[in-house]
Structure formats: C-alpha cells, structure tokens
Structure 1
Amino acid sequence: MSTTLNNTLLLQLSDTHIREPGRLAYGRIDTAPFLAQAVASIGRLPQAPDAVVITGDLTDFGRAAEYAHLRALLAPLPMPVYLLPGNHDSRAQLRASFADHAYLGEGGDEDFIQYSVPVGGLQLIALDTVVPGASEGRLCTARLQWLDAELTRHARRPVVIALHHPPFRTLIGHMDDIGLREGAEALEAIVARHPQVERLICGHLHRAIQVRFGGTVAATVPSPAHQVRLDLASDAASAWMLEPPGFALHALPQGGRLVSHMAASGQYPGPFPFHDGGQLID
C-alpha cells in the first residue's frame, strides 16, 4: 500500500449481522461472505486505514457462536478494530467474546459500552445507544454527561463520535419507529457546544444518509451486506434489498477538515487511465 503523508484514515463498517457459519439472516442471506468481501476490499485500498470502527449490529442475535464467526472474519485486518454494539447485540457476550479488547470495559448487558480512543490525529468517541431487548435506542443523562466530559477533555483535538442509532429522522418510517427515541435533542445541544466534533457516524439504517446536526454532519453508511429499501412513504413496508454493499472512509488531513468517502465493497474492473496512448479522451 502507498501512504498519504499526515492523513488520518478511519474506516467505518456497520451492520454486519453475522450469524453462525452456514446460517442465513432472515432465512435468505448469508452475511458472512459479504463481510469477507468488505475485509478484502479494505486490504486493497491504496492507503491502509489507521483503524476500523464497526458501528453496531455486529451479529444477528448476540450469540457466542456468532461473535466467534465475526472474530474469524475480521482476523485478516492488521489495524486496530473498534466494536460498538447495536440493537441486535449483547453487551455481555460481546465483552466475553472479545475479552482482549480492553476498551470494551467490564460488565453485563445493563452496563454501557462507551470509550474514547486516539486514532492518528483524531479522537474516536463511541457512544452507546442500546436498550437491551429493544430495537429502538435511547441516550440517558448518564451517557450524555459522559460524552460531554470526554468532549471537554479533548477540546483541542478533532473528534468523531460513533453511535449505532442515528440521532435524526431519516424519513424511512419503519426505521424511524425504531430509531433514537430519547436524547437526540440533548445530544445535539452538547455537540453544538463543542466545535471540534467533525462528524457523527452512525449505523442501523443500512444506507448512506447525511444531515446537518449540531453545527456539524451526522451520517449513516451502507451495510457490507443488505440495504434497507429506499421508500419514504410513511406507511412503507419494512423491507431490505440486495443493493450494492459499501463502507465509509473518513480522512482527516493534518490541520484540515474531515472528508468522508463512501466506497463500494467488492472488486470491480479498473482502475483505467483517462487517456488512450497519451491522448485525453473527451
């Protein structure tokens, strides 16, 4: 791989929904080969990311065998991998299955998984939105106070906040019904007080969506497997599609602003030069 001087690269995966080997999600899709494809795509990037963060729904049911399968699929990645639970996950089993990931902390299903770690020139702050046993998310006072304190500690450092449930309406009705049901306004007020927040990066939606939020940008990313159907009707059916999978690469140049790229997962023809025998083609 080539290097890019003074750029910090944070790669975001989300909603991998891994099941036990050979088991199909929703009875139709084997998500494991899609994650393996994404891992291979990361390995082919011209510049290696400094770290990978996965913003939730790591597994489908939070089972030990699912996390073991996830661990095996992620093993080829040579850079640090930071995990965040989604509504399909078990905090306790995630900690048990990735016991060597000290940033996950200790505790059971009722104990939040929140952490703040340096990644190159930025600070990655993971915020837990999970409500055990529920599909929707919430941010209580304790979680928000922790975030505010971390942002104060890193007031002079560019920050990326990672969370599973997006803190905004997406207009995909059935997903907004199980979105962040509490704490979004308080979160936005906190973010607005801390101008060093470059981005809020979220999962849950299985699509690329962006919105202004607290003076910065909040965004979701595609899944490396299946995508939520794009249907903005208020009564749209809950459904998924086998649209092209993807991930995000967030790049922070030294002294600059975060630039986010959405990338397709998989291998495609190219790259080809924009010329033919030295002549530009119009």
Structure 2
Amino acid sequence: MIRIAHLSDLHFGAHIPGLVEPLLADIARFAPDAIAISGDLTQRAQPEEFAQAAAFLAALPAPCVAVPGNHDIPGGAVLERLADPRRRWRRFIGAETEPMLLLPGAALVGLDTVRRVQPRLDWSAGGVSSRRRARLAARLAACAGRSIVVVAHHPLRHPAAIPGRSAPIGGEAALAMLADAGVAAVLSGHLHRPGRIPGPPEIVLTGSSLSHRTRGLPNSWTLVELDGGALRVNAREDSGDGWRAA
C-alpha cells in the first residue's frame, strides 16, 4: 500500500503561522510514503513567501512532489509574468515545475496547469495545452506498470456544486488522455474545499491546508491510500484544537 499526504493552497504570506507545526506533526503521524502539494504555495509569489514555503518543504517528513498554482507566478510584475513567470519558483522551490517521484509500484507525476495569460477574463483558471498533454503522455508511458497519481493545481473538471468558476482550458482533453493512460487519480486544489469528482480518473480535492483563505471551511489535508486497484481517501481538518478526521 502507498500512502500519499495531499496538501494544497498553503498561501504563505496569507497563512496561519500557528498551524504549521501541528500540520507537520499530523502528517508525520501517518508515515506517508510521499507528499503531494497541489499548488499555491504562496499568496503573491513574493521572495519572502517563497522562502517560507521552501522552509516548510524542507521540514516535511517524506519526499514531496509540488507543482505551482496561479498564485505562484507574479501578478503585478507584468514583464516578469510574461517573460519568465516561474523564475521565482525555480529560485526557491526547484528547477522543475512538473516533478516526478517513483515509488514501489507507483508514480507521482506533476502537471503544471498555470498559464501566464488566458483568452478570457479569468486568468486564474489555468489550462493544459496540446503540447503539454503530449509531454505528459510521454512521461506517463515511462511509468507503465505502476499505479499513477497526477498532481495538478487546477481540477481538470469542476464539481457541479461549485458554479461560476472557470474550468481549465483543455481540461477535458487532458482527462481523456489520463483515462487512456490508466491514471488512478488526480490530486488538485484551487477551489479551497475537499471533495471527490468522479472519473475516470477520479479527481481528489483538498482544501486550504494553512491559509486563512478557507472560504468558510476548516483548513484541511487529505490522506490518499493506493492499495492495488483500490483508492481510499480520508480527509483531515483543523478543529481549532488540533487536527482530526473530517
């Protein structure tokens, strides 16, 4: 069995400092094989926020696959956003925005869904281009024979219960490709709420793990267990007096 701790939307710079150590301790209790962080490590992509995020990653109790979210590229620095939007990510977090981690019988594969511009007003919504889908397909092919979990900030399909949010451009095409590749699950955030969206592949959402931007819901993270062909999902939430099962 493979255990993955799924975190998202940390939003350092808009985080709750008192939650950091209890969250690390709660994750460690479950001895995960890997940790997936599905984007928005920072609030405004400022260097000091990235430095805090990098320190948090260094304190994690297991290997981590982290991908950027829409908050992890500059908003106000327009020239940098257009010319090199992931420069700060590479400086503080790592050279890759689509890292991959191989585990015994499983693989955790990052997908960068952030877009510097959009042909619509909602630039936060993300997308997956045909070129990026092709690159992802090649990486998935290299993981043949393993249970594959993809980590992406934006849910490639939105739940019907959340109207008014723009789904990523190319999301359905990406899901079709992931289904053909036999991907077991996609771990996502962005919507700041836990949940499961039927597949294939199933999309597992988690809420904001550290930020005060919870949209009225508790801070949360999710324990994902892969046991052969079975997928088990258990959400954890902050009760105000410690972390507990949701």
Same fold per superposition (TM over 0.5)? yes
Amino acid at match of 2:11: H
**Cα separation, 1, equivalents of 2:135 and 2:65:** 19
**Cα separation, 2, equivalents of 1:269 and 1:81:** 21
- 1:31 deviation in Å? 2.9
* Local SS of the residue matching 1:124: strand
Q: Classify 1:188/1:72 alpha carbon distance in 2 versus 1 (closer, same or farther; 3 Å).
A: closer
Structure 2 stretches of 5 or more lacking a match?
A: 74-85, 118-122
Paired position in structure 2 for 1:11:
5
Q: Classify 1:77/1:169 alpha carbon distance in 2 versus 1 (closer, same or farther; 3 Å).
A: closer
* Local SS of the residue matching 2:72: coil
- 1:268 deviation in Å? 4.4
**Cα separation, 2, equivalents of 1:165 and 1:269:** 25
Q: Could you tell me whether the CA contact under 8 Å between 2:185 and 2:201 is conserved in 1? A: yes
- 1:270 deviation in Å? 9.3
Tell me which stretches of 4 or more aligned residues in structure 1 moved more than 6 Å. Answer: none
Amino acid at match of 2:110: A
Q: How does 1:158-173 map to 2 (within 5 A)?
A: 158-170=147-159, 171-173=161-163
* Local SS of the residue matching 2:192: coil
Q: How does 1:5-84 map to 2 (within 5 A)?
A: 7-19=1-13, 25=14, 30-43=15-28, 45=29, 47-84=30-67
Paired position in structure 2 for 1:279:
none
- 1:84 deviation in Å? 0.8
Paired position in structure 2 for 1:224:
209
**Cα separation, 2, equivalents of 1:83 and 1:257:** 24
**Cα separation, 2, equivalents of 1:199 and 1:270:** 24
Q: Could you tell me whether the CA contact under 8 Å between 1:207 and 1:228 is conserved in 2? A: no
Count of equivalent residues: 226
Identical pairs, percent: 30
Q: Could you tell me whether the CA contact under 8 Å between 2:100 and 2:108 is conserved in 1? A: yes
Paired position in structure 2 for 1:108:
none
**Cα separation, 2, equivalents of 1:35 and 1:49:** 17
Structure number with higher helix proportion: 2
Paired position in structure 2 for 1:127:
111
Q: Does 1:249 align with 2:238?
A: no
Q: Classify 1:144/1:77 alpha carbon distance in 2 versus 1 (closer, same or farther; 3 Å).
A: same
- 1:83 deviation in Å? 1.5
Q: Does 1:188 align with 2:175?
A: yes
User: Bigger radius of gyration, 1 or 2?
Assistant: 1
* Local SS of the residue matching 1:190: helix
Q: Could you tell me whether the CA contact under 8 Å between 1:10 and 1:119 is conserved in 2? A: no
Q: Could you tell me whether the CA contact under 8 Å between 1:200 and 1:219 is conserved in 2? A: yes
- 1:81 deviation in Å? 2.1
- 1:198 deviation in Å? 1.0
Question: Normalization by structure 2: what TM-score?
Answer: 0.82
- 1:130 deviation in Å? 0.2
- 1:127 deviation in Å? 0.6
Q: Could you tell me whether the CA contact under 8 Å between 1:38 and 1:246 is conserved in 2? A: no
Amino acid at match of 1:15: D
**Cα separation, 2, equivalents of 1:269 and 1:78:** 17
**Cα separation, 2, equivalents of 1:70 and 1:141:** 31
CA-to-partner distance for each residue in 1:62-85, whole Å, 9 max, x for gaps?
111101112223433232122210
Structure 1 stretches of 5 or more lacking a match?
A: 1-6, 20-24, 106-112, 230-239, 272-282
**Cα separation, 2, equivalents of 1:257 and 1:146:** 27
Paired position in structure 1 for 2:76:
none
**Cα separation, 1, equivalents of 2:126 and 2:157:** 12
Question: Normalization by structure 1: what TM-score?
Answer: 0.73
Amino acid at match of 1:117: L
* Local SS of the residue matching 2:124: coil
**Cα separation, 2, equivalents of 1:269 and 1:203:** 19
